[in-house]
């Protein structure tokens, strides 16, 4: 059940070698960032996504081991055209890998995040997001729900059927020190209220503490009237500047014309 992306994530969480490798690298001081970026558009559609950032040291360790962190995701995205994968090499040498998809409305957005963790066992590591989207008659939007980042309870290694390695408490401490997890909500209008960190006038970031379910609520104003136009903000700014230049030129010509008429009179 579910999309290839969801099936891949479930398989990856349960893969002991992958989990063991990741935990070993985190023990060396490497860091990761796991984020669920969600964008609600003024027309009622939305962009759902998940992203992972590998810091330069972690990336170098993976390269040395011949591990491509995008291989499985690339294969899953190729099997599910609804999803798109992007790789962004950042200025400090880190790598951000993101998968995203466009959804037609609020119900589909909620379903996407429900499906990504459906079928996971209670002790499987996961980034869980349960959403509720409410819109008022004026176009204001409130996104609320719960989110949590569940650390692993075992490294997945057993000898003669007996689990070995760090226990759940130690792994939770490791994740808390080395992994940053968050939900980032970009709203269709300016923020009215939120219980996270404001990234900009329309975006709130909900930072998660490993092992703790976090309730959140983010409310925005109705989107601006120009947001429904089929152009982006930068294009509007350029058009506005050009209009100002044209109007200024016309006013200058009119003023010169009036001075010329006055002298002739």
* 67-114 confidence digits (pLDDT tens): 776 776 677 777 788 889 888 888 888 888 888 999 999 999 999 999
Mean pLDDT of 232-257: 69
Q: What is the pLDDT of residue 218?
A: 98
Q: What is the pLDDT of residue 20?
A: 47
Range from 9-13, 83-87, 127-131 carrying the lowest mean pLDDT: 9-13
Closest by Cα among 217, 65, 255, 243 to 141 = 217
Cα–Cα dist 74/82, whole Å: 13
Percent of all residues in the chain with a pLDDT value above 90, rounded to a whole number? 31
Mean pLDDT of 148-176: 63
Give 17's pLDDT tier (boundaries 50, 70, 90).
very low
Cα–Cα dist 185/202, whole Å: 8
Q: Is the per-residue pLDDT at 50 higher than 60?
A: yes
Q: Is the per-residue pLDDT at 183 higher than 70?
A: yes
Closest by Cα among 198, 205, 216 to 142 = 216
Q: What is the mean pLDDT of the chain?
A: 78
The count of other CB atoms within 10 Å of the CB of residue 165 is: 14
- The reply to whether the predicted model has a pTM over 0.75 is no
């Amino acid at each position: 059940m579910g999309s290839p992306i969801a099936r891949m994530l479930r398989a990856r969480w349960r893969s002991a070698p992958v989990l063991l490798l990741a935990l070993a690298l985190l023990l060396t001081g490497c860091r990761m960032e796991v984020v669920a970026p969600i964008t609600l558009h003024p027309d009622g559609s939305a962009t759902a996504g998940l992203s992972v950032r590998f810091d330069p040291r972690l990336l170098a360790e993976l390269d040395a081991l011949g591990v491509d962190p995008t291989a499985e995701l690339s294969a899953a995205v190729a099997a599910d055209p609804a999803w798109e994968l992007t790789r962004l090499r950042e200025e400090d040498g880190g790598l951000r890998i993101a998968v995203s998809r466009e959804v037609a409305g609020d119900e589909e957005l909620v379903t996407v995040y429900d499906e990504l963790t459906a079928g996971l066992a209670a002790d499987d590591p996961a980034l869980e997001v349960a959403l509720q989207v409410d819109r008022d008659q004026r176009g204001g939007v409130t996104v609320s729900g719960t989110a949590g980042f569940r650390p692993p309870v075992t490294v997945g290694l057993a000898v003669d059927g007996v689990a070995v390695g760090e226990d759940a408490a130690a792994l939770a401490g490791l994740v808390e020190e080395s992994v940053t997890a968050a939900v980032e909500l970009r709203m269709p209008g300016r923020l009215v209220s939120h219980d996270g960190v404001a990234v900009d006038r329309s975006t709130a970031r909900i930072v998660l503490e490993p092992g703790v379910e976090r309730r959140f609520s983010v409310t925005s104003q109705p989107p601006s009237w120009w947001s429904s136009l089929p152009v982006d903000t930068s294009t509007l700014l350029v058009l506005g500047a050009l209009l100002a230049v044209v109007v200024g030129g016309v006013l200058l010509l009119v003023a010169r014309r009036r001075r010329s008429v006055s002298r002739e009179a």
